[in-house]
Structure 1
Amino acid sequence: MSGKVFVVGVGMTKFEKPGSREWDYPDMAREAGTKALEDAGIDYREIEQAYVGYVYGESTSGQRALYELGMTGLPIVNVNNNCSTGSTALFLAAQAVRSGSAACALALGFEKMQPGSLGSTFDDREQPMLRHLLALAELQEFALPPAPYMFGAAGKEHMERYGTTAKQFARIGVKNHRHSVNNPYAQFQDEYTLEEVLAAKTIYGPLTKLQCSPTSDGSAAVILAGEDFVDRHGLGDQAVELVGQAMVTDMNSTFDDKSAISLVGADMTRKAAEKVYVQAGITADDVDVIELHDCFSTNELLTYEALGLCGEGEGGKLVDNDETTYGGRWVVNPSGGLISKGHPLGATGLAQCSELTWQLRGTADARQVASAATKDGVALQHNIGLGGAVVVSAYRPANR
């Protein structure tokens, strides 16, 4: 990594149940983008490039969304990378700043979703996930809907290999719902007992409804800038440095391993995390707070291991020992995660970045992780989209 990159402004909307609020994607983008600009204390005219992420929408929806903030002629790039769309927009904006192509860039994501399980839009061509689904069907009997089937099958495989229990997966759901109680941006802010999570409707395998992320409407925005921009605008006290970032897509091992765990991206995550740790000069032990892609509770546990928080097969022990909540070694998903905060696909990665920025600034209110708000605080972000791409990012306070 050459030039330094800093997060100088963040903003997001509350994540909502689809159809529960009278708004459209331009309204969402205006709200999130305006908050990010106000947070940075800059005018939209200072943004030199913008990357706008969404999964469900027509071409150039990114332009229409940003026209709510202004029409300055800046380059606007539309981004779609499945559930990792938001962090992909962030990755591209960071590249623009790091390379010197832009002194200040905006990454914004939004989604206006249909209620219910995710569906396809184009049925006259091969679905991009078909190869993954066919490979998984050779390992475990196919079921619908596809997303919980894939991540539920990976959870079942982990149970068979390592003795992980349905109760351990359910405890992750309990934790994330409990964390969301303190997040005003979360779609759900209800706490559940372990018994309630286990007794909820079974979706697939060990997964019950309260361990699955919901469809959501919402938007989030992040403003990135280089060192000179931060100095000129006096943003050092609020800036958060992006000290490591990597994107990894599927590798041969995704299919060659003949493993449901590999098919849902564990190898991608592991490789991306290894790159980020080297770039940032840290290990998993240096991290204080983590926002990771808990689209399903099973994936949170798999990601513990892929990020190196523990050894392979030991994720259940972290859960049993409360190592991933307040009072433990790490606080994972203080926002409530995708399970409880919600999952508007294009916005998720940028909402994760927003939460970690607040944590490192010490402005996360009742969700605050104390160790993150010190000069030595380290935050880690993980966002995955099957088919596939993973983005892992590491952050530290600028004036540490």
Structure 2
Amino acid sequence: MTSKVFVAGVGMIPFRKPGSSGSYDEMGAQAVQQALADAGIGYEAVQQAYAGYVYGDSTCGQKALYRVGMSGIPVLNVNNNCATGSSALFLARQAVQSGAVDVALAVGFEQMNPGALKSAWTDRAPALERANQIVDELVGNPDMPKAIRQFAGAGLAHMQKYGTRLETFAKIRAKASRHAARNPLAVFRNEVTTEEVMAAPMLWEGVITRLMACPPTCGGAAAIVVSEDYARRHGLRMDVQITGQAMATDLPSTYASRDMIRVVGFDMTRLAAQRAYEEAGVGPKDVDVIELHDCFAQNELLTYEGLGLCAEGEGAKLVDDGDNTYGGRWVTNPSGGLLSKGHPLGATGLAQCYELTHQMRGTAQDRQVAGARVALQHNLGLGGAGVVTIYQKVSA
């Protein structure tokens, strides 16, 4: 048995810099309360909940949700690196689609520290041990933060293979800032030009500037997904349907290719996208608006190619043609993306859901993509997990 799955409610709090936010449980609870209010239901209607976070002890999801209610429902905590939020959504949607429940909640939150990402554990082998070894061999620069070595290293590989210029990545970052200027929930709303991105301090000479990396961020976001039968019986909105969704993990090529582009998840992205397109019965040309995982400007360009918006090596042309913003073929990251909206790891995937739900409803205000009917979400975590979700506007 499979049921159509609709996004009945979404919630998101303003993203903040570390040290200026509430606690993780406060942020999670606020996002859930917003999503419930948006759906027009009480917490007692929720039958299962999936709580996503990366930095926290076990059962942090319960602590956040107990602020909303204590109904005895199953609460499952999810940690899938930077794809945590969309992994929680994947599980919630799967629970409803399978007929196990009629109402499921996905919430993501993160209370982050300033500076580069660090493991909480130093007495055991890291999950990315194999990837780190390959990065050491292909990239070097052992004193540089790991995430920069990974994604900037992939960008450098693209530059060397296809002649992509650093300015192209700067254009992507400048575009993100223009979009975020319209988003009151974004952590950075100041516009920057391509020239200002290029003039920012170099993190790796000739490869990446500081403004091409997303900032550590705190925040929370949530979504309520429901079955068609439940929505009809209770008069809930059914204007946004999840019509395709897939999660992929690493393939042998991730490491065997010895290609930094593959090491950072290109093949996961491609596989998840292909499966999501097939389930939804759409292709890249049918998509109007996209929220994708731009943890670095370099990864946004790689993702254009992984999602099939263009062929491998043609991402720079897509940027130069303006096909990633308003007036072009697709609007990518109208929220400002991770680069400007911010990247609280556990919340990111659900913040993307929040944005695209409003885009499908036509309620994205100054960010609205005119006539948008099909939306794509891409969320990536190294280690690895790639989740691609297709949303479609349903006419009354």
Q: What TM-score does the superposition give when structure 1 sets the normalisation length?
A: 0.97
Which 5+ residue runs of structure 2 have no aligned equivalent? none
Measure the CA separation in 1 of the matches of 2:30 and 2:36.
10
Partner SS, residue 293 of structure 1: coil
Q: CA deviation at 1:59?
A: 0.5
Q: 2:282 maps to which residue? A: 282
Matches within 5 A, 1:152-171: 152-171=152-171
Partner SS, residue 371 of structure 2: helix
Measure the CA separation in 2 of the matches of 1:165 and 1:145.
23
Measure the CA separation in 1 of the matches of 2:362 and 2:234.
21
Amino acid in structure 2 at the alignment position of 1:397: K
Partner SS, residue 243 of structure 2: strand
Q: CA deviation at 1:2?
A: 2.8
Measure the CA separation in 2 of the matches of 1:207 and 1:327.
28
1:151 aligned to 2:151? yes
Q: 1:387 aligns with which of 371, 376, 383?
A: 383
Q: 1:64 maps to which residue? A: 63
Measure the CA separation in 2 of the matches of 1:394 and 1:295.
20
Q: Which aligned runs of 4 or more in structure 1 are off by greater than 2 angstroms?
A: none
Measure the CA separation in 2 of the matches of 1:282 and 1:203.
39
Q: CA deviation at 1:140?
A: 1.9
Q: CA deviation at 1:151?
A: 0.3
Measure the CA separation in 2 of the matches of 1:312 and 1:53.
32
Kept in 1, the 8 Å contact 2:172–2:319? The answer is yes
Q: 2:189 maps to which residue? A: 189
Q: 1:137 maps to which residue? A: 136
Amino acid in structure 1 at the alignment position of 2:377: Q
Matches within 5 A, 1:1-400: 2-21=2-21, 23-143=22-142, 144-204=144-204, 205-236=206-237, 239-372=239-372, 377-399=373-395
Measure the CA separation in 2 of the matches of 1:347 and 1:203.
26
Kept in 2, the 8 Å contact 1:10–1:354? The answer is yes
Q: CA deviation at 1:30?
A: 1.8
Q: What TM-score does the superposition give when structure 2 sets the normalisation length?
A: 0.98
Measure the CA separation in 2 of the matches of 1:269 and 1:311.
14
Q: CA deviation at 1:244?
A: 0.3
Q: CA deviation at 1:142?
A: 3.2
% identical aligned pairs:
57
Q: CA deviation at 1:398?
A: 2.9
Kept in 1, the 8 Å contact 2:135–2:149? The answer is no
Measure the CA separation in 1 of the matches of 2:228 and 2:240.
11
Superposition CA RMSD, Å: 1.0
Measure the CA separation in 1 of the matches of 2:322 and 2:224.
34
Q: CA deviation at 1:303?
A: 0.2
Q: CA deviation at 1:129?
A: 1.1
Q: CA deviation at 1:201?
A: 1.3
Measure the CA separation in 1 of the matches of 2:220 and 2:203.
27
Kept in 1, the 8 Å contact 2:39–2:237? The answer is no
Q: CA deviation at 1:308?
A: 0.4
Measure the CA separation in 1 of the matches of 2:360 and 2:225.
16
Q: CA deviation at 1:211?
A: 1.1
Measure the CA separation in 1 of the matches of 2:20 and 2:237.
39
Kept in 1, the 8 Å contact 2:214–2:338? The answer is yes
Partner SS, residue 100 of structure 1: coil
Kept in 2, the 8 Å contact 1:207–1:296? The answer is no
Measure the CA separation in 2 of the matches of 1:201 and 1:84.
29
Measure the CA separation in 1 of the matches of 2:288 and 2:234.
29
Kept in 2, the 8 Å contact 1:167–1:198? The answer is yes
Partner SS, residue 371 of structure 1: coil
Q: CA deviation at 1:130?
A: 1.6
Q: Deviations over 1:237-286 (max 9, x none)?
A: 5x310000000001101011110000000000001100011101101000
Which 5+ residue runs of structure 1 have no aligned equivalent? none
